[in-house]
């Protein structure tokens, strides 16, 4: 109980420290903007974003409803694409885990595809699907599927061999082996890999929306570029960053914490 009380007392202080840190960063950003544009003339005011300009751009996007619409469309696309990649990637990961031949031949290829930037798939998406919703979904799926497959394979490969030997000694069938031993033991490692897969999907979505979308955060980013509005570009970038952090902290971190806590691998 004392440890919990100590932790709760420290929490407001930590929050205040973080707020002060970010306020100092914003203040430093504003000072650099004024010194670089007004005093030293290193860059033009339209080429360097300022905190006040970014805030004004955010207010305009929110007032017009453009930002909320873009966020909704982008989240819907990434959710659908990520679920599809989760399904395909799980099947691929199980295949390369179950077959030594596929592991030696297919796994290096998946590693190579994973290292390929998602924007490289945009021309294929446009040629195959046109400037449609399906083109963006294709980029998201292809951008995260290989990461999901490798996360599955790595999680299964990291299971201590004694678990499988003990289950086999007790007469576990192949189905029981996967259901009662492999899947539960691989779950913590798979969740850790899933966080990385999500980041790949989120970045792939931006690549697809920038090149072939009509509404979304990526499209809003390019609209700011076309209007030479560097403040809007920066504002949308910050929104993309914040959404990525929130999903990682509120979804994947919480899910991973609960799984590890249930296994006794993390304190309450």
User: What pTM was computed for the model?
Assistant: 0.83
pLDDT for position 5: 43
**Residue 77: partners with Cβ closer than 8 Å, 6 or more residues away:** 133, 136, 137, 140, 205, 208, 209, 216
pLDDT for position 16: 87
- Tokens 């974003």, residue located: 49
Question: In degrees, to the nearest 5, what angle opens at C-alpha 155 toward C-alphas 105 and 179?
Answer: 105
Residues in the chain: 268
Diameter over CA atoms, the chain: 78
- The beta-strand segments (E) located in the chain are none
For residues 157 and 97, the answer to whether their CB atoms sit within 8 Å is: yes
pLDDT for position 265: 61
Q: How many CB atoms lie within 10 A of CB 144?
A: 31
Instruction: Give the pLDDT means over successive 10-residue stretches in the chain (268 positions).
Output: 43 85 91 85 83 92 92 94 94 90 90 89 90 90 93 89 84 82 85 88 90 82 89 94 91 83 65
5 secondary structure, DSSP code: H
pLDDT for position 266: 63
For residues 172 and 181, the answer to whether their CB atoms sit within 8 Å is: yes
pLDDT for position 205: 93
pLDDT for position 213: 66
pLDDT for position 7: 40
For residues 68 and 62, the answer to whether their CB atoms sit within 8 Å is: yes
pLDDT for position 130: 85
């Amino acid at each position: 109980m004392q440890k919990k009380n100590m932790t709760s007392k420290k929490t407001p202080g930590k929050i205040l420290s973080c707020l002060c840190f970010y306020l100092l960063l914003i203040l430093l950003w504003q000072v650099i903007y004024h010194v670089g544009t007004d005093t030293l003339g290193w860059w033009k005011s339209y080429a360097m974003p300022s905190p006040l300009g970014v805030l004004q751009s955010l207010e305009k996007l929110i007032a017009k409803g453009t930002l909320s619409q873009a966020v909704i469309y982008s989240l819907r696309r990434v959710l659908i694409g990520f679920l599809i990649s989760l399904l395909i990637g799980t099947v691929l990961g199980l295949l390369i885990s179950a077959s030594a031949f596929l592991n030696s031949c297919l796994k290096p290829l998946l590693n190579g595809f994973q290292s390929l930037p998602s924007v490289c798939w945009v021309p294929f998406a446009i040629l195959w699907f046109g400037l449609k919703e399906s083109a963006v979904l294709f980029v998201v799926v292809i951008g995260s599927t290989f990461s999901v497959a490798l996360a599955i394979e790595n999680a299964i490969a990291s299971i201590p061999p004694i678990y499988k030997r003990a289950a086999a000694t007790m007469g576990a069938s192949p189905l029981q082996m996967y259901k009662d031993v492999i899947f539960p033991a691989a779950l913590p490692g798979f969740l850790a890999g899933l966080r990385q897969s999500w980041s790949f999907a989120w970045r792939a979505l931006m690549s697809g929306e920038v090149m072939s979308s009509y509404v979304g955060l990526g499209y809003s980013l390019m609209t700011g570029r076309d209007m030479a509005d560097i403040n809007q570009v920066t504002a949308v970038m910050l929104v993309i960053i914040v959404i990525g952090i929130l999903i990682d902290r509120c979804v994947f971190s919480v899910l991973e914490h609960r799984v590890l806590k249930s296994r006794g691998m993390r304190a309450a």
